Amino acid sequence: MNKKYDTGLMWFRRDLRVVDNAALCMALKACRQLHCVFVFDTDILNALPRADRRVEFIQASLCELDTALRQLSGVPGAGLIVRHGAALEEVVTLAKTLQVQAVFAAHDYEPQARARDDQVLGALAQVGIALHTCKDHVVFEGREILTQTGSPYGVFTPYKNNWLATVTPQHLRTHETAPYASALMARPAGMQQPVPSLAEIGFEKTNLSSLKIPTGSSGGAQLFENFFERMDEYDDTRNFPAVKGPSYLGVHLRFGTVSIRQLVATALQRQIQGSLGAATWLAELIWRDFYFQILANFPRVAEGAYKPEYNAIQWEQGPRAEALFKAWCEGRTGFPLVDAAMAQINQTGYMHNRLRMVVGSFLVKDLGLDWRWGERYFAQHLNDFDLSANNGGWQWVSSSGCDAQPYFRIFNPVSQSEKFDAEGKFIRRYLPQLAQLSNKAIHAPWTAKPMELQMADVTLGGNYPAPVVAHDEARALTLLRYAVVKKTL
């Protein structure tokens, strides 16, 4: 095979696997010799707490990736070069040191990452090195799915219909790396160190292992295999937080330890065979593409409302607003389903999708707080934080986003609790102080008779807070707050 470059550098970022990796496949095909690098980017890491599950997940996944690269190459001394510093400097310096002619990477879509990649492209060009990037993290990106007028979609259902009409086996083909693995080279003698430990990059261990969150490609494969057996029931189980319904693959999609093409191909096949659960899950994967293209085509959403008129809403401010936000963050709102959900994210870095909608609606439409406060909190705490999906979800609950919940539709946290956690199993798991309440009272303890509270050892305002707002009053205030939008519609 005629190869374009003598030596290249594969830059892993959000694609921490060797199987079906589009950028790695492109690099192996193009280069006679290939080195691989991952950079612990201090421009990102310096903003994180010293104990961060995502960093621990990445570190563990890199150890597996390093082993997989060595096994794939069969060459002693092969594997992953890991750097710790500003990505711009580290990649360019390493590319020059290794005397490569090209660097390869998968597309990243977040504004900060795109700005970084533009800088890397320019810095490499100055020294005569090419940067080649390709799509790997989504099925369709940017402007690949457009309306009949040639504009990006802002409504999901027609986007989904076009997506389904457009996708072909070619879009979902596996990018084979093994046939070209002979290009993987031994690392230079001074670069054969193992993946640095958390301590070596200035981080501490978290409760990741005790939560039994599997890492690396093997962990992603294990979760997907487990979910495959439950996929057909997904439509029935996905809304109930006490039930093992979701795939739990979010963090693996975030860091590319699974292939989106493999997941979509499997879901499509099951849908064709008549599985409603698979069709519903496939729609969730298409939502993911949808939000990525929203961020790419309308980058303003990272700062403000997709619908600009919603930027005129006056959110609560001042000490009371700060106190309400603190209560929400700490799971002390007095609404058990909301508080249990916040306990879940604080303890595990995960929150069930139904609960993300409930707590988001509660923050915005019960507490009257700016959706961006919640967006930032989730960004800090979610293991699977992805800017596009997180922003899209928060704009959805605040009604400011594309295809969002109408502003006058306001989740009632009590009825949501009664409907989706009827027996209070989820609430009891995360709020053990309410465990002795009846299935009826556990959704709204303030409605219980004093004797029941006493017998359940619950003291409102003591070991469990009284509600910080009255939902009906808050709903009325929200409709007034959103009146500024109604005038523009």
Please list the active-site residues.
Answer: 284, 287, 315, 353, 371, 394
Q: Measure the N-to-C terminal CA separation of the chain; round to a whole number of Å.
A: 60
* Dist CA 25 CA 120 (whole Å): 21
* Dist CA 246 CA 237 (whole Å): 8
The CA dihedral of 229, 233, 234, 237, to the nearest 10 degrees, is -120
Q: Who contacts 140 (Cβ-Cβ below 8 Å, separation ≥6)?
A: 163, 166, 167, 171, 289, 293
| Residue 277, SS3 per DSSP | helix
Name the residue among 118, 46, 126 with its Cα closest to residue 88. Answer: 118
Contact 336, 429 (CB under 8 A): no
Hey, what amino acid is at 17? R
Hey, what amino acid is at 227? F
The string of DSSP letters for 4-34 reads SEEEEEEEESS---STT-HHHHHHHHHEEEE
Contact 364, 325 (CB under 8 A): no
Q: What Cα–Cα distance (Å) separates residue 289 from each residue in 264, 313, 392?
A: 11, 29, 11
* Dist CA 180 CA 178 (whole Å): 5
Strand extents, DSSP E, 151-264: none
Supply φ then ψ for residue 36, to 5 degrees.
-130, 140
Q: What Cα–Cα distance (Å) separates residue 32 from each residue in 68, 127, 129?
A: 20, 21, 16
Tokens of residue 158, six digits: 């027609």
Name the residue among 27, 20, 198 with its Cα closest to residue 104. Answer: 27
* Dist CA 458 CA 445 (whole Å): 9
Tokens of residue 28, six digits: 């192996």
HSE of 116, CA atoms in CB hemisphere, 13 A: 21
Using CA of residue 205, residue 70, residue 385, residue 229, what is the dihedral sign?
Answer: negative
